[in-house]
Structure 1
Amino acid sequence: ETWRIRVVKTRCESSNLPNSFNGYRIVLIGGLHLRRISGWTRRIQDQIQRLNPDILLIGGNVKATHRSGNESTHELLSRFLEPLDPPGGILAVQGYRDRKKFWEELPEESRIELLSTSHKTIDREGGRLTFLGIQTAHASHLDRGINQLREALEPLGSGDYRILVGQSADLLRVAQGQPIDLILAVDNLHYQIRIPGWGVPRRDTKVPYSWGPGWVKEGLLSLYLNPGLGTRWIPFRFFYRPEITLIELTKK
């Protein structure tokens, strides 16, 4: 499945969405695990350009391995993003692989804005769309993630449409009871391989086995879970195709 990139187009309808953001187009990718610029990465670039997004979200795990050099991966990421220039910019959250100060050492000329217990607000004709990201989002640190989300939310006023971005389905548990409208996450740590008759080899998550890529709802919150694009540990995917997701926000 590794080369069979699929593009999923979906909508999120909400009465809370400001009218000025009706039709806003978000492209969500992640789990790139960049090793080189190749035909595979150029196909991803081409597909994203065809989707004509208002903003591009990168759900973590840019580095191929923990040991991958920061400088060399920064160069690969810069080349990958070079032809991509959405008007709302490029936002990212850190992933499991993005360690050893990968994001802290990002070159100053980079066009990426990191969401790390922080937010970015886009104003349009009186409406406000806010993207949030936290440092910790997986099962081993749910309490820490909840505290970080509260910290990221603290400076925000009322009336924003708030989207939480991350690299784990556990965000749906982290955000319960918080003023969040939508969650967008990428997780190829658990959704790279599916074994027929058994399921997904998993670790470090508390989400139910029934949760999989696509829309998941718990309580009043909805999550879109993207299974990522690249591979980790083993260089192939099994019963989980790499995915680029277009989420169009619509006013209910």
Structure 2
Amino acid sequence: MRFLQLVTAGTLAPTAVAVFRLAAPLGALVGALAAAATATAVLAPIGARVRFGFQDERRARSSSTLAVLFDLLWMTSMLAPVTTLLAAVGLAVAHRLSLGAACEVGVAGAALVAGYGVLVRRRWVRRRRVELEIPGLPAAFDGYRIVHLSDLHVGSIDRREEALAWSHAANALDADLAVITGDILTTGTAYHDDAADAVGALRAKDGVFACLGNHDYYGEEELCAKLARRGARVLRNEGVAITRGRETLWLAGIEDVWRGAPDLRAALRGRPEGAPIVLLAHNPDFFPRAREAGVSLTLSGHTHAGQLAVPFLVSRATLSHFVTRWPAGLFRDGAASIFVHAGLGTTGPAIRLGAAPEVVEIVLKATPSGRGRPTASGRGHRSER
């Protein structure tokens, strides 16, 4: 928490200057007090905001609204140095450079960007379609459609109503199979029923399956039981055969690498020889082991695409690049592929910029050549609430 406060304090100068200038007509002392009050309003609640996210308990919606509004203020101050620099460059080009004016314009711009990320982009879910050729895929599964969700983080911030909307958006695709690659919850057990309601609303011809993420290991046995009662099966180092006539697609799921004990060998036990494998593994860092074991397609999440990324370059320029080689999107290594879902919910500050939440339709394609060529497309839409 102190580290976050120190980092945030280092970004506060433009905001403090802008507030001082706005209040200065009432007197220099008033301006100074206003700037100090703004700095306090940003720095003091950080500890409480962190605890709010990591000690997720049943809270009134008003508490969640206050947390999101604080995130708006917090992210404005964090983005202000960048937007102030851009404003300074623009004013310099116009030969009207002024430090105070640059701060005012920069903070206003930061507030607009943060407002978009917190209030709009975070709730603007895109539908994405990915077509992927799978070497050795039986003709019976050519065109097989999987709807992929991940990182719902049902809790105080991303509530039951939002999660139900995501499930309804997935159902509209009428897919053959629905999967969730972990982090169904944020923390704790208070929102088990809400999460189960949202996941239980999913529908697919061959069923609904999930794996656990690192945030799900809070009363996970109870969580899995509640999901099962609502028709969703959590694969915990186990697999299931999806059949079309005499042909089989093996769907496997493993425990999370951070909190569980992943056992891919157990997840593949009983697989018919030659059946292509689709693996649900929350953390994409498991991909090398999956590739070595002959897994055709690994579906993961965990990264949230960093939540902050350069628009249209999310697979190349995102905060998640600092923690994994597979930050978001589709990657291929030989005959093996991995798709890393950008997530639907958030952790930490409730913001998304350049890293859209998504409902993904994955279409498996048979290929006689033995080597696939992935293609992807996406379109945005506002979730109906």
TM-score range normalised by the length of the shorter chain: 0.7 to 0.9
Name the structure 2 match of 1:29.
Answer: 149
Say which structure is richer in strand: 1
Q: Please, which of 253, 266, 281 is the counterpart of residue 133 of structure 1?
A: 253
1:226 maps onto 2:341 in alignment = yes
Task: Normalising by structure 2, report the TM-score.
Answer: 0.57
How far residue 32 of structure 1 moved from its aligned partner, in angstroms, is 0.4
Name the amino acid aligned to 1:165.
L
Name the structure 2 match of 1:98.
Answer: 216
Instruction: Judge conservation of contact 1:187–1:228 (CA < 8 Å) in 2.
Output: yes
Distance 1:26 1:159 in 2: 20
How far residue 176 of structure 1 moved from its aligned partner, in angstroms, is 2.9
Distance 1:195 1:87 in 2: 37
Superposed CA RMSD in Å reads: 2.5
Q: Please, which of 250, 272, 283 is the counterpart of residue 168 of structure 1?
A: 283
Change (3 A) 1:58 1:103: farther
1:19 maps onto 2:134 in alignment = no
Instruction: Judge conservation of contact 1:185–1:223 (CA < 8 Å) in 2.
Output: yes
Structure 1 residue runs of 5 or longer lacking an equivalent are none
| Larger gyration radius, structure 1 or structure 2 | 2
Say which structure is richer in helix: 2
Instruction: Judge conservation of contact 1:137–1:174 (CA < 8 Å) in 2.
Output: no
How many matched pairs?
Answer: 238
**Cα deviation code 1:81-110 (max 9, x no counterpart):** 344321211101000100123244423523
| Structure 2 residue matching 1:51: 3-state secondary structure | coil
Distance 1:250 1:195 in 2: 30
How far residue 121 of structure 1 moved from its aligned partner, in angstroms, is 0.9
Change (3 A) 1:184 1:82: closer
Higher mean Cα deviation, 235-244 or 26-35?
Answer: 235-244
Identity score, percent? 24
Name the structure 2 match of 1:235.
Answer: 350
Task: Normalising by structure 1, report the TM-score.
Answer: 0.84
Q: Please, which of 270, 273, 277 is the counterpart of residue 158 of structure 1?
A: 273
Structure 2 residue runs of 5 or longer lacking an equivalent are 1-120, 368-385
Instruction: Judge conservation of contact 2:305–2:355 (CA < 8 Å) in 1.
Output: no
| Structure 2 residue matching 1:52: 3-state secondary structure | coil
1:86 maps onto 2:204 in alignment = yes
Distance 1:84 1:133 in 2: 18
Distance 2:145 2:363 in 1: 5
Name the amino acid aligned to 1:200.
L
| Structure 1 residue matching 2:160: 3-state secondary structure | coil
How far residue 180 of structure 1 moved from its aligned partner, in angstroms, is 1.1
